Amino acid sequence: MRTICFYFQVHQPYRIKPYRFFDIGEDHYYWDDYSNRSIMRKVAQKCYLPMNKLLLELIREHEGRFKVAFSISGVCLDQFEAYAPDVLDSFRELVATGHVELLAETDGHALSALKSKVEFSRMVERHSAKIAKHFHGYTPKTFRNTELIYSDKIGEMVYDMGYSTILTEGAKHILGWKSPNFVYTAASQPKLKVLLKNFQLSDDIAFRFSNKTWPDYPLTVDKFVNWIREIPAEQETLNLFMDYETFGEHQWADSGIFEFMRALPAAIMRDTSFTFSTPAEVAEHGKPIAPIQVPVPISWADEERDLTAWLGNDLQNEAFTKLYELEEDVKLLADDYDIQRDWTYLQTSDHFYYMCTKFFSDGDIHAYFSPYDTPYDAFINYMNALSDFILRVKRAKKALAKAKAETDL
């Protein structure tokens, strides 16, 4: 089997509106509806709608030989439903071809796997329910954790939830001399297959495509296909994982990114021995060659491929700790829709990403994605909203206890 697996992450967070200290206890709605709607419509027009149209044409043109996979976060599905139903329809049309795989993940695009197995499982169940709701009962077979975060412990939890395949980063410090272009198994659970991102070729498209200072600029289809042809014959799978917003948003249309993608599948099928497969197909047909050990969590972020993009400083760790101190109380309020919605949206990893204080190798990337002037502004705004949320949870818990006591009488 010589196959290429294209996987795209589709995600937009619910951004928090400017929330002042004096709003605590007074304003219980945290979300910047105007920004969220505006950004969703902008990205829909620049990326989601034109790229979905292009992929649909490629699948039909190649009669199903071209295949891709998506993980669409639950918070993104909520925004599609609210602000971009046309985008949701276009994804449904893609899935209906039978040549697109949808992956499972956490509903809130959250870091819950690092803190709570119970909350992690709840998040995954909620996400699967949303996928089934929006895509005619579709049941995901493959799992992708938030930002490809993975460890041996996470692998065990994912397998226990019923998944037999997971995606993660082909990080150098984990692979060593080994290649990401094989199927592996989890060291902690041999029945769990692990597909690793080839970050070199993936990032050539996702990050370097329009970089005029890159020695290999411009990236042409012929050049990329030649690199694929250079992959040793015994290496059977090439996993190209990237943000879907690469197309039209991070790499603008005038960079030629859409034309590149339109021509790529035909060139690969014509000039190489590679086919295209979904992650589930790679796992089904690929023979694992070895276990992969990941004792400390990895991700696909930054040069380090670790967790420091989200949990690398005191600001992030304080916010993260304060948030998950609420878990047990929030569980008691399962029937409170607003509490459950805000609990999910406050867990979204982007809030912690905005607090990152890296100013060197990856500082520009962090600044590009953040709506705040500084990480400290992000921390203050988040903690103000979280402080109000804490008050609401305490009051709701007290009211619930009082109602229960009165019922018992």
Q: What is the pLDDT along the chain (409 residues), one digit of tens a residue?
A: 799 999 999 999 999 999 999 999 999 999 999 999 999 999 999 999 999 999 999 999 999 999 999 999 999 999 999 999 999 999 999 999 999 999 999 999 999 999 999 999 999 999 999 999 999 999 999 999 999 999 999 999 999 999 999 999 999 999 999 999 999 999 999 999 999 999 999 999 999 999 999 999 999 999 999 999 999 999 999 999 999 999 999 999 999 999 999 999 999 999 999 999 999 999 999 999 999 999 999 999 988 999 999 999 999 999 999 999 999 999 999 999 999 999 999 999 999 999 999 864 444 555 556 899 999 999 999 999 999 999 999 999 999 988 888 877 6
Q: Are residues 65 and 179 in the same domain?
A: yes
**DSSP structure string for 199-252:** HHHHHHHHTTTT-TTSTT-S--HHHHHHHHHTS-TT--EEEEEEEGGGBTTTB-
Specify the number of domains making up the chain. 2
300 inside domain = no
| Beta-carbon contacts of residue 175 (< 8 Å; ≥ 6 apart) | 196, 292
303 inside domain = no
121 inside domain = yes
CATH code, domain with 108: 3.20.110.20
Q: Are residues 257 and 161 in the same domain?
A: yes
pLDDT digits (tens, 9 = 90+) for 121-156: 999 999 999 999 999 999 999 999 999 999 999 999
Q: How confident is the model at residue 406, as a pLDDT?
A: 80
Q: How confident is the model at residue 368, as a pLDDT?
A: 59
Q: Are residues 155 and 10 in the same domain?
A: yes
Q: Are residues 360 and 247 in the same domain?
A: no
200 inside domain = yes
Of 259, 292, 325, which residue sits at a domain end?
292
Q: Are residues 127 and 168 in the same domain?
A: yes
Q: Which residue matches tokens 């080994």?
A: 178
Of 248, 265, 292, which residue sits at a domain end?
292
Q: How confident is the model at residue 367, as a pLDDT?
A: 56
Q: Are residues 98 and 190 in the same domain?
A: yes
301 inside domain = no
Q: How confident is the model at residue 53, as a pLDDT?
A: 98
Q: How confident is the model at residue 41, as a pLDDT?
A: 98
Q: Are residues 183 and 65 in the same domain?
A: yes
Which residues are part of the catalytic machinery? 147
Q: Are residues 321 and 258 in the same domain?
A: no
Is there a cis peptide before residue 218, judged by omega within 30 degrees of 0? yes
Q: How confident is the model at residue 13, as a pLDDT?
A: 98
Q: How confident is the model at residue 169, as a pLDDT?
A: 98
Tell me which residue range forms the domain holding 317. 308-408
Which residues partner with 241 through β-bridges?
7
Rounded CA-CA distance 17/38 in Å is 13
Q: How confident is the model at residue 3, as a pLDDT?
A: 98
297 inside domain = no
Q: Are residues 262 and 345 in the same domain?
A: no
Q: How confident is the model at residue 237, as a pLDDT?
A: 97
3-state secondary structure of 31: strand
Of 292, 326, 356, which residue sits at a domain end?
292
Q: Are residues 211 and 277 in the same domain?
A: yes
278 inside domain = yes
Q: Are residues 277 and 338 in the same domain?
A: no
Angle between helices 117-134 and 152-160 (to 10 degrees): 50
Strand order in the sheet with 193-197: 143-144, 165-169, 193-197, 183-186, 291-292
CB 316 within 8 A of CB 138: no
Q: Are residues 286 and 327 in the same domain?
A: no
302 inside domain = no
